[in-house]
Amino acid sequence: MNIRLNEQLIATTATTLFALRDAHQPDADVLIVNGFPVRADQPLGEGDQVVLIKRGAVPDAAEMEALLTARHTPGVHQRIKSATVGIAGAGGLGSAIAIALARCGIGRLIIADFDVVEPSNLNRQQYFIDQLGLPKVDALRANLQRINPFVKVAAFYGRLDHENLPQVFAMADVLVEAFDAPDQKAMLVENWRKAHPERPLVAASGMAGFGTANTIATRRVGENFYLVGDETTAAAAGCGLMAPRVGVAAHHQANAVLRLLLGADPVGDNHG
């Protein structure tokens, strides 16, 4: 009988779930059959899909890749695992974008930020209270390694400027702008588009407050240049940055990156 075990097609003589477990991974304590967790033994049939997991055990690189691939649209993983994405800024946008891409199985991330984790960041940024005072790039790299240790993460701790930006992100296939300050946003856009006009840039503007998330969208604003947000709602007195809308914008940016790497238009009708 042929079944798919941990996303690998195998031939087996085992006819029940427990027999399969005992033959291949006797210490597994999480058993999933055709997408559903099960606790009792049950018969297996031709083509069944079984995942056996030992709680707390980290899969090796090949198994992790297979399990990631199982949850993706066919053909996605092979194309993104060789990609490099640069993220300028590791705050509310950048930290969420990095985590989304790591969960997708992106091959390499280059993350740049000059700041440290402070208490006010915890309302929207992907850090923990025991990381207060750490450079954001170091804290984020540690968190990404906990999520997917097979993603390569390069960290640049310092301020980006017109001189070092092209070098820091020299290997990036796509660059994501995730700054707070308007002057830094403008500097990045100008210098990246001048240095690498052939490589896409995904920027953001307008995601403050708690207004409807439906106004946050992805738009093309130039050749290889995409902008996410509502383009108007900036952080100001009485209109702060909060996790929900910042997270919506961050995931718009991450999805735009994913579509670009897969050859799809970030603002088109092709849903993949």
Give tens-digit pLDDT for 225-236: 999 998 878 777
> What does the block give as tokens for 76?
């996605």
Residue 267 domain-assigned? Answer: no
Q: What percent of the chain clears pLDDT 90, i.e. is strictly above it?
A: 68
Q: What pLDDT score does 183 carry?
A: 92
Asked if 115 and 7 sit in the same domain, the reply is no
Give CA angle at 215 (211, 219), nearest 5°: 145
Domain extent for 30: 2-57
Alpha helices in 105-214 (DSSP H): 136-147, 165-168, 182-195
Task: Quick: pLDDT tens for 76-89.
Answer: 888 899 999 999 99
205 or 67, greater pLDDT: 205
In degrees and rounded to multiples of 5, residue 206 shows phi and psi of 95, 85
Distance (Å, whole) CA 137 – CA 87: 10
Q: What pLDDT score does 6 carry?
A: 84
Q: Residue 138 in 3-state DSSP? A: helix
Q: Is the pLDDT assigned to residue 270 strictly greater than 60?
A: no
The CA–CA distances, whole Å, from 190 to 151, 160, 247 equal 29, 13, 25
As separate numbers, helices (DSSP H) first and strands (DSSP E) second, the chain gives: 8, 12
Q: What's the CA dihedral at 97, 144, 240, 246 to 10 degrees?
A: 30
Task: Quick: pLDDT tens for 104-146.
Answer: 999 999 999 999 999 999 999 999 999 999 999 999 999 999 9
| Band of pLDDT at residue 180, cut at 50, 70 and 90 | confident
Asked if 113 and 245 sit in the same domain, the reply is yes
155: domain CATH number is: 3.40.50.720
| Band of pLDDT at residue 217, cut at 50, 70 and 90 | very high
Asked if 149 and 192 sit in the same domain, the reply is yes
Asked if 6 and 108 sit in the same domain, the reply is no
**Number of residues written out for the chain:** 272
- Note the pTM of the prediction, 2 decimals: 0.84
In total, how many domains does the chain have? 2
Q: Is the pLDDT assigned to residue 54 strictly greater than 90?
A: no
